[in-house]
Amino acid sequence: MTRKRTAPTAPVFCTIVPPHILGKLAESDDPERHEPARSTLEHDALHRTRRTDLAGRTVTPKEARAAADKPDRTVYDAGHQQNLPGTKVHSESDGPSKDASVNRAQSGLGATFAFYLKAYGRKSIDGKGLPLDATVHYGVKYDNAFWDGERMVFGDGDGQLFRDFTIPVDVIGHELTHGVTQYTAALDYQGQSGALNESISDVFGSLIKQYALGQTAEQADWLIGADLLGPGIHGKGLRSMKAPGTAYDDPHLGKDPQPATMAGYVTTTDDNGGVHLNSGIPNHAFYIAASTLGGKAWERAGQVWYDVLTGGHLAKNAQFADFAALTVQAAQARYGAGAEHDAMVKAWSEVGVTGKK
């Protein structure tokens, strides 16, 4: 028997590749580089406008399973069109597909489901067994992937600057975590709360990859989209949590502009107040906390972040300092006044969100 949950507020349109990268590419004189970037930018801007228009309304919820300890995944093929969801090509009970993108999407949905269930006891992204849908082969040379409030959508990339967006599991985890945030804190996608929204997706996207690979904090690369950049691109990924601002330095992409501390905080009206830029600051705070504690990052640092995200005390318009204070409180509540508490204090102090303690 299934049951319906109360519909969440309509989500914003969340993409993995930020507008500042696509904007730089769109300036290129080479049509093979600028045309995919320009069409992707136009597509994303249109969908962001539609999502803004929906703000404050509700979305129709799917039916969730009350006791789901296994994923319920469905993959669709857009056939290089932009009509969603596309043609259904794979269900949970099906064997491997001949289409590698379908198999990677299916696997990434499963890795994300397994992580949240086994690490935190969460049943799918809504906590109640929500079926997981994905669409592959979206658009022509579409250089992005996004969560639209109902499903994951993957472009194939242009083959030069970006590869198929189903390849990095952390990208899939990142986008699905926007769904977790949608069903929990519902952080406003603007300014610092929007940067926290993006950062939370980076944090758990990275943890999903680390969990799947069995990595410790010391073994992890702390990169987002490490396998996404095309051949010849001078870069390691889209973002670095270990060293924001160093993920890429390329004639086509430009130089990674993310700040690691509040000293470099970017004040801008672009990208909803720089949500993909300033997310580097809480990203780096998480890296510091996790590396200070060592071991498996999802077990202590990740648990604290999850407690804050799902605890009911995180305001929709929370600022960095608000989130920082909640992590310190959550660490003490779960672990006492010990190493975990001290790691949170150290992390937020080192990135300049809080004063020296």
Whole-angstrom distance, CA of residue 308 vs CA of residue 265: 23
Per-residue confidence (pLDDT) for residue 6, from 0 to 100? 39
| 201 and 232 inside one domain | yes
Whole-angstrom distance, CA of residue 326 vs CA of residue 348: 11
Whole-angstrom distance, CA of residue 300 vs CA of residue 322: 20
Per-residue confidence (pLDDT) for residue 69, from 0 to 100? 87
Whole-angstrom distance, CA of residue 59 vs CA of residue 62: 9
| 166 and 223 inside one domain | no
Whole-angstrom distance, CA of residue 293 vs CA of residue 289: 6
Neighbours of 60 (CB within 10 A): 7
Structure tokens at 137: 């082969």
Q: Which of 129, 162, 183 is the last residue of a domain?
A: 183
Whole-angstrom distance, CA of residue 195 vs CA of residue 275: 4
| 42 and 140 inside one domain | yes
* pTM of this structure: 0.91
Side chain identity at 285, as an amino acid letter? A
| 108 and 253 inside one domain | no
In angstroms, the first-to-last Cα distance of the chain is 53
Q: What range defines the domain where residue 130 resides?
A: 2-183
Side chain identity at 280, as an amino acid letter? G
Q: Are 13 and 5 in contact (CB under 8 A)?
A: no
| 106 and 220 inside one domain | no
Annotate 282-314 with DSSP letters as a single string: HHHHHHHHHHHH-S-TTTTHHHHHHHHHHSS--
Residue 27 belongs to some domain of the structure: yes
Domain count along the chain: 2
Q: What's the helix, strand, coil split of the chain in %, to 5?
A: 45, 10, 45
Sign of the torsion formed by the C-alpha atoms of 124, 214, 280 and 339: positive
Question: What pLDDT tens digit does each residue of the chain (357 aa) get?
Answer: 333 333 455 556 788 888 888 888 888 777 777 788 888 888 877 776 554 443 333 344 455 554 578 999 999 999 999 999 999 999 999 999 999 999 999 999 999 999 999 999 999 999 999 999 999 999 999 999 999 889 999 999 999 899 999 999 999 999 999 999 999 999 999 999 999 999 999 999 999 999 999 999 999 999 999 999 998 899 999 999 999 999 999 998 999 999 999 999 999 999 999 999 999 999 999 999 999 999 999 999 999 999 999 999 999 999 999 999 999 999 999 999 999 999 999 999 999 999 765
CA atoms within 13 A on the CB side of 191: 6
| 37 and 143 inside one domain | yes
Whole-angstrom distance, CA of residue 324 vs CA of residue 261: 14
Q: Are 288 and 352 in contact (CB under 8 A)?
A: no
| 137 and 228 inside one domain | no
DSSP state for residue 133 in the 8-state scheme: E
| 144 and 57 inside one domain | yes
Whole-angstrom distance, CA of residue 217 vs CA of residue 123: 25
Whole-angstrom distance, CA of residue 95 vs CA of residue 116: 24
In degrees and rounded to multiples of 5, residue 235 shows phi and psi of: 180, 165
Q: Are 187 and 158 in contact (CB under 8 A)?
A: no
Give how far Cα 174 sits from Cα of 85, 154, 212, 292, Å: 20, 13, 14, 23
Q: Which of 183, 199, 216 is the last residue of a domain?
A: 183
| 235 and 172 inside one domain | no
Q: Are 284 and 260 in contact (CB under 8 A)?
A: yes
Residues belonging to the active site: 175, 276
Please report, for the domain that includes residue 86, its CATH number.
Answer: 3.10.170.10
CA atoms within 13 A on the CB side of 156: 17
In degrees and rounded to multiples of 5, residue 186 shows phi and psi of: 50, 50
Please report, for the domain that includes residue 315, its CATH number.
Answer: 1.10.390.10
Closest CA relative to residue 86, chosen from 184, 155, 189: 155
DSSP state for residue 270 in the 8-state scheme: S
Q: Which of 144, 167, 183 is the last residue of a domain?
A: 183
